[in-house]
Amino acid sequence: MPSLQSLKNRIKSIKSTQKITKAMKVVSTSKLKKAREKSEAAVHYADKMQNILIAASSLICEEFEETSLLKNNSEEKVQLMIVVTADRGLCGAFNISIIKTVRKAIDDLVAQGKDIKIICIGKKGYELLKKNYGKYIIAHKDGIGSKGVKYSEACDIAERALSLIHDNQVDSCHIYYNKFKSVIAQVPTQQQLIPLLKEELKEEEEKIVNEFEFEPDKEKILLDLLPKNLKVQIYKALLESFAGEHASRMTAMDNATRNSGEMIKKLQLVYNRTRQAYITKELIEIISGAEAI
């Protein structure tokens, strides 16, 4: 039978934990609202920009394609992977889910005989990957989003990726992040950034695109917009990951708070029964002693 003091201490400890989880839920709820607003605006802008570039790239000549970020190397011997995770834990399966996707992708690429370079954004991703895949990690950065995700942070990451592309150190670039779907659902997502994915236009879309007038010409526009699009797509991924992190943490802390409440109720019941048992035992001893006298 547990002692009353040990039960008291345990109940007190869980109540303290419950206060912390409540506070963390409130903080994440507050941050989530702002993060969602920025994320939704960025997603709309990034998707529109991507569609315009895909449409414009469908009209360019093959010679230009070979000297731009549109270049499609069928071998793609070296792939750059930008992995976006959180700096902290206590957010459910948020970090683990995207790392599982990344690990599978790495194993598949290695099995195909391809080389990999990884840039880790977020402390947790680096910690989870460095043991088994540390030799592929060329850079890691944490602290992003500590005061809200900034476009300049996305630009720094994009510039590193562009320098590797221009130096012919990598052939393609993909970003892995948790896409914000809802407060209770974040989807591990892989997006190809370089080369730009080209899609076949529908007949109606082709007619619309052919009516566009480009000033200056399409090639110059693409040369200017492709690097900017890379920065915008990375910025979008960071914002979505940031929103997903707080949504996941809010849900995890809400569940932890409710579980703490249930544990406190159960322990309180055990405490009352134990206390009653001790009182009954003492009464029996007193009565037995009185009868003996």
N residues, the chain: 293
Q: Which residues contact 69 (CB under 8 A, 6 or more apart)?
A: 165, 194, 195, 196, 226, 227, 230
Contact 88, 125 (CB under 8 A): no
Which of 91, 120, 155, 173 is labelled catalytic?
Answer: 91
* Contact assessment for residue 173 and residue 194, using Cβ atoms and an 8 Å cutoff: yes
Q: Quote the distance between the C-alpha of residue 195 and its chain's center.
A: 23
Task: Return phi, psi of residue 75, to 5°.
Answer: -75, -45
Angle formed by the axes of helices 94-111 and 218-292, nearest 10°: 130
Alpha carbon 150 to chain centroid, angstroms: 16
Cis amide prior to 227 (ω within 30 degrees) = no
| Catalytic residue list contains 61 | no
DSSP SS3 for 139: strand
Active site residues: 91
